[in-house]
Chain A
Amino acid sequence: MAVKDRIKPIVRELNERIKDFNEVSLGYTWELAVEEAKRCLQCKIPTCVQGCPVGIDIPGFIKEIVQGNFQNSYKILKKYNSLPAVCGRVCPQEIQCEGSCILNKTGKPIAIGLLERFVADWASENAIEEKITIEKTTNKKVAVIGAGPAGLTNASELAKYGFKVDIYEAFSEPGGVLIYGIPEFRLPKSIVKREVDFLKKLGVNITLDIPVGYAIEPEELIEKYDAIFIGVGAGTPKFMNIAGTELNGVYSANEFLTRINLMKAFKFPEYDTPVKIGKKVVVIGGGNTAMDAARSAFRLGAEVTIVYRRSEKEMPARKAEIHHSKEEGIKFQLLTQPIEYVGDENGKLKAIKCVKMKLGEPDTGGRRRPLPIENSEFFIEADIAIEAIGTNSNKLLLSKFKGLELNKWGYIKTDEFGQTSIPKVFAGGDIVTGSATVILAMGAGKKAAKKMKEFLET
């Protein structure tokens, strides 16, 4: 029997969507969701579940969609995943659940992400309140540092176990990368707010504007709480550190996106925080952050080129993001490495000196190593450059945790359940693994919560 095609989601018209920051994909209607859900083979041994970092009962929630029991479906999702509306949108499903779907061999895996998103949105639109079952309340207290995906998930799990949870966040809004990093057109901020409100209903207390390490010493937390979870992410941007990095017009993707997303610079001067829009913007990097920065700059009205040192095949960004970026009109300058920023007499960026690259032998990560081609230097005109080449750990907080062991890259050393060298202190997400995905951070937060429960109960 021929495998039916995947049901396509509703995507906003190109000409309309590139003019604003509203969400690009509108997802499924319920008719489309049911139709897609019917394609699921309901495998006895579901390989998709093995591909999910938080182990969602995927056939289970899809079966309920087929039967029109969206409420039950939501209940199943929420049991495994505290942020389904987020994950349905930003998880790299193609390498996780959908990549492991038995139908992936045919090129038509079940659109699990879109279904997850549909159910979560349906529940929100219909104001379905999840029945919260708190296992049993205890007087044990937990501090969570950082209100990003890892911290929020960890807090939610622990609150459901019955512990008293206090989250400390340095920014003025909870959400971490979901708020400052991922743009509105990919993840509306109202969704993050909804998920955070749910946490508050669980009794989690969130204190904002608190830079732990400065405002509160780690020792104070260790004394006051029975366990601590560090989920501060890998927040320090890397720069290539080529000549001219301090020229005006050179940004880290973190800064560019934070100004736009958190500080709403795209609404300047209605909001006070400015961002340089630029006429010709060059984004350096090939990951999701590079695509986010490029598409944001494009929406602000710039001509945008992505410069990446390998070929498109090696780009770590999701295929869908690369596709959307190209479709929207972003140019790709592949196999190119910037080597110098050139400024004008006022210290403003005017061009980027680059060198052409070729691919050599695979490196230890398995990707082919880019090598410069001799005498291939050329210039790209640009008044804004945005480096999206990854992040490092923020050593500041970590250096203040006495006895906390770090690995050679400066991230926190933990066992497979997130326990650090200080028994009371757990960690998860990018601050353990280095830059990764929202779902992996959530998975780590969840796993650590389980171990923390055991720790707190013994």
Chain B
Amino acid sequence: MLNQIVEKKKLAYGVHLFWIENPIISQKAKPGQFVIFRVHEHGERIPLTISGTDKDKFRVIVRAVGKSTYELCKLSKGEYIKDVVGPLGTPSEIKKYGKVLIIGGGVGIAAIAPIAKELIKQGNKVDVILGARSKEYIILENEFKEATNIFIVTDDGSKGEKAFPHQLMEKLLQKNKYDVAWAIGPALMMKSCSEIAKKYNLKIFVSLNSIMVDGTGMCGGCRVRIKDELKYTCVDGPEFDGRDVNWKSFLTRLSQYREEEKIAFENYLKKVGEPTWL
């Protein structure tokens, strides 16, 4: 049935994997694209990157950060998502580049998995950096087996090297030459990686998680300054060359509804109590 959760798995505290039945999306989705969920009638529209497809279903991996994602993570196998729109956005520019460096941070690892897979399929040599705050949050590690090299970093050193992804990135760039890079993860990580890429004159794709409403270019809420131009993340992106992104205004716009998010979240916790399902 359309939009039924056919599989659900907790990967780490607050990080949940969903397989959703939706043949249209699973057959059309390409790496880099996203969907918009509205969990229930009163829900807001939340964009989520598609993390893989299989026959009639597609995968998303969600980190619970606020009311909507807490609610989403509370749903069980067999339940339905009220509205699912997609696939949306321009797919990743995947072709034969030669040597590619891919960086995934936290739940961003879910987004880079299908990109890495497709790049390898196109004959690229792919080096991967997976980063997270601690070892539990290094997810989907076995999906990168075909990569040439895989490097792991954690903030606390509980797995791999104790470093931030951009620090390891710089180390690699000092020794190796890459033709292009991808970095997907928290906004600050993407910003730091983009600064390193700029320094080494490397094209780097980042996937911007702007606040959006419709996802089809209709509201302009996701606008971001790319060099001197205003672009819409939903249709012109979500991937842009990180070197061209105006990170200051992007980060500011992400915090637009912080107060409202807090109100909604506190009201919600009052209603449901301890979020034991996370």
- CB–CB A235/B44 < 8 A: no
Given the interface pairs A209-B83, A214-B28, the reply to whether A347 lies near B220 with Cβ below 8 Å is no
- CB–CB B221/A272 < 8 A: no
Q: Which A188-230 residues have a C-beta within 8 angstroms of B? A: 208-211, 214-216
- CB–CB A272/B214 < 8 A: no
Chain A contact residues: over half helix, strand or loop, or mixed? loop
Q: How many A-B residue pairs have CB under 8 A?
A: 121
Closest to A268 in B: B260
**How many angstroms from the CA of A263 to the CA of B38 in the assembled complex?**
10
- Does B88 interact with chain A (Cβ within 8 Å)? yes
Interface size on A, residues (CB 8 A): 40
**Nearest CB in chain B: distance from A163 CB, A:** 24
- CB–CB B230/A246 < 8 A: yes
Closest to B229 in A: A241
Given the interface pairs A215-B87, A235-B217, A239-B220, the reply to whether A269 lies near B24 with Cβ below 8 Å is no
Given the interface pairs A172-B38, A273-B44, the reply to whether A246 lies near B264 with Cβ below 8 Å is no
- CB–CB A211/B42 < 8 A: no
Most buried by A among B28, B82, B246, B248: B28
**How many angstroms from the CA of A274 to the CA of B258 in the assembled complex?**
10
Given the interface pairs A210-B24, A235-B217, A394-B218, the reply to whether A245 lies near B230 with Cβ below 8 Å is yes
- CB–CB A252/B87 < 8 A: no
B-side contacts of A172, CB under 8 Å = 38, 82-83, 85
- CB–CB B42/A272 < 8 A: yes
Contact of B86 among A214, A270, A273 (CB under 8 A): A214
**Nearest CB in chain A: distance from B256 CB, A:** 5
- CB–CB A394/B225 < 8 A: no
24 sampled A-B residue pairs with Cβ under 8 A: A170-B214, A172-B82, A209-B83, A211-B85, A214-B28, A214-B86, A215-B25, A215-B28, A215-B87, A235-B216, A239-B220, A246-B223, A248-B255, A252-B220, A254-B218, A258-B214, A269-B263, A273-B213, A276-B256, A347-B248, A347-B249, A394-B216, A394-B218, A396-B235
Interface residues of B (CB under 8 A from A): 24-25, 28, 33, 38, 42-45, 67-68, 82-88, 213-221, 223-225, 230, 232, 235, 246, 248-249, 252-253, 255-257, 260-261, 263-264, 267
- Known pairs A209-B84, A214-B86, A271-B42 / 5 extra A-B pairs, C-beta < 8 Å: A172-B83, A211-B216, A246-B225, A251-B221, A263-B45
Interface residues of A (CB under 8 A from B): 170-172, 180, 208-211, 214-216, 235-237, 239, 241, 245-248, 251-252, 254-255, 258-259, 263-264, 268-274, 276, 346-347, 394, 396
